[in-house]
Structure 1
Amino acid sequence: MPVESATWTIAELAAEYDVTLRTIRFYEDRGLLTPERRGTVRVYHARDKVRLGLILRGKRLGFSLDEIATIVDMYDAEPGEAGQLAYLLNQITTRRAELEQRRRDIDETLAELAEVEARCQADLNTLRTK
């Protein structure tokens, strides 16, 4: 007797990953998830569950949906997992460089704000003592 593989409903996936049904349907519309249809019911298999986890992780890391789609789709096609990992490493390097630049920009802006704040406070103190 064949063993039935685990499946999930859209509501179960949404609850497990703390996302809305609309979010999952959006990823389906974009072709990132491909649930089985049983009448009007979507049935998600382990592949879909793994892909949803990867999509959400990619979003948390700041990747665009197009970048996520490329990474996730590479696993199922040539060049396979090795190509997927090489591409992902390249994307991580790029993303890290962008974030480090943002951090430098934020640090610079904070320093400028502190300088302007100090000047304003000094000018205000001068005006109040006149």
Structure 2
Amino acid sequence: MRFKKTLCCLVLAVPLLTLFGCAENVLPEEVTKDGAHLEIILEENPTTGYSWTMDDYDTSLLKLEKDEYSASTTEGAVGSGGTHLYRFTGQKEGNITLIFRYYRNWEGKDTAVEVREYSITVADDGKIQSVDVKNKE
């Protein structure tokens, strides 16, 4: 009888431990990384006046390779917005926080309707090790 209870507990516990053990490596949907590159893709609609702006950061740790807005490909959808792509390459070992603000530039960054912070760890070989996100609305 005791063996059956132990077996039952193990059958239930192992999947839960696996699930929670892997959860810390899950990236938010707007972030992708392949080791050498980090991409952050944010939804944006400049026709409303709002756009994403990135705060200054230490460029010796991360190099910005691409900063590009792409309009939606939906036909006939005037003013439908699109996405803003930021692509980075790690340069040297360290920790860095990237801060993105969604606001109308004539109103100032303190009026941002959304702020996203990404804490990034770069390994000594320049590979992106981890990305943690903290969103403020």
TM-score category (smaller protein): under 0.3
TM (norm. structure 1) is 0.24
* Greater fraction strand: 2
* Greater fraction helix: 1
Larger radius of gyration: 1
Structure of greater relative contact order (alpha carbons < 8 Å, 6+ residues apart): 2
